[in-house]
Amino acid sequence: MINFRLMRHLWLFLAVAEKEHFGRAAESLGMSQPPLTEQIKVLEQALKVKLFERSRQGTRLTPEGRAILPAVQKFAEQMQQLETAVNEALQGQNGTLVIGAITQALTDVLPDFLGKIKTAHPKLTVSVKEIDSAEAVPLLQSGSIDLAFARIEGHPGSDIAALPLMQDTLAAALPASHPLYGCENIRLADLADEEFVMFARSVSPSSFDTVTAACRAQGFSPRILHEVRSAVSQIAFVSCGQGVALVPLSLQRLAPANVRLVPLAENVRITTTAAAWHTGRNHVLLEKVLDYLKTDENGQMPA
């Protein structure tokens, strides 16, 4: 087995084999000939074979030298590929980015975002995990993910940065049998006596807190009949006659025929998706892709 400390000697062997002359090889390597000759001897001793025959006509490989030349050339190519890969990784051109995303972000944000970064960084490997909003910060802090797309508002932590990407207004999801179903808009207080289908706080603390705070501002606390894990589930429960829900107005497109999303008069804004990342980690790839998360003046990702 070759001692890995002799790797440099293989490069020297390759130079002499290509130049067929110790002097010219030493010149191409930027060194004097005697150290080159000495190190080739060290390699020969390690391999227990003679690699070169020297004569007045020049330097020729021995049969043993010719036998190992293809392997050494392949080794040199692999080392060059490794050097290129390392340089590209340092420049943020390749490597792996692990993303955690809530269900809504998988359809609303990720397709466009991933398309942009794959076009700009075709050698980048992206791994996507589906997460709940409550998992985003712990996963970022543990290093399990590099970037999160979740419902995050306010200041999630001193070591976590968050950037709102998608915002919407809250609407009341009402079943067709509800007396307010046909209204153009309703006051939040009109729902004070209703039973609610809510996001579980353990799944999305920011959504739960935003909704309950809006209700309390209108003089009541929502009576929670069911807790679910997604806005789509909220709408589905409403469709089954299991209460009313407060969800982003844009989700009307996902509502079945017997559910209508009625705008609220109070115009309560909610962040449906934010990007979050750990500020204490030096991740070159992450720094590169964050440029593609810039939002416009309306808080939406540009096309």
Q: Is the pLDDT of residue 173 over 80?
A: yes
- Residues 183, 117: Cα–Cα separation, whole Å: 43
Any residues with CB less than 8 A from the CB of 7 and at least 6 apart, and which?
Answer: none
Q: Identify the pLDDT of residue 83.
A: 66
How confident is the model over 105-121, as pLDDT tens digits?
988 889 989 998 888 88
Average pLDDT, the chain: 85
How confident is the model over 246-259, as pLDDT tens digits?
999 988 988 999 99
Please give the DSSP secondary-structure letter assigned to residue 130.
E
Q: Is the pLDDT of residue 66 over 50?
A: yes
Phi, psi (degrees; rounded to nearest 5) at 112 = -70, -45
Q: Is the pLDDT of residue 86 over 80?
A: no
Q: How many residues does the chain have?
A: 303
Mean pLDDT of 98-108: 89
Mean pLDDT of 91-109: 79
Mean pLDDT of 55-72: 85
Mean pLDDT of 95-107: 87
Q: Are 22 and 16 in contact (CB under 8 A)?
A: yes
How confident is the model over 180-211, as pLDDT tens digits?
999 999 999 999 999 999 988 888 888 898 89
Phi, psi (degrees; rounded to nearest 5) at 122 = -60, -20
Q: Are 104 and 203 in contact (CB under 8 A)?
A: no
Q: Identify the pLDDT of residue 303.
A: 40
What's the pLDDT band for 300 if we cut at 50, 70, 90? Answer: very low
Count CA within 13 A, CB hemisphere, residue 181.
13
First vs last Cα of the chain: how many Å apart?
Answer: 56
Q: Identify the pLDDT of residue 299.
A: 41
Q: Which residue has the tokens 């979050």?
A: 276
Q: Are 167 and 266 in contact (CB under 8 A)?
A: no
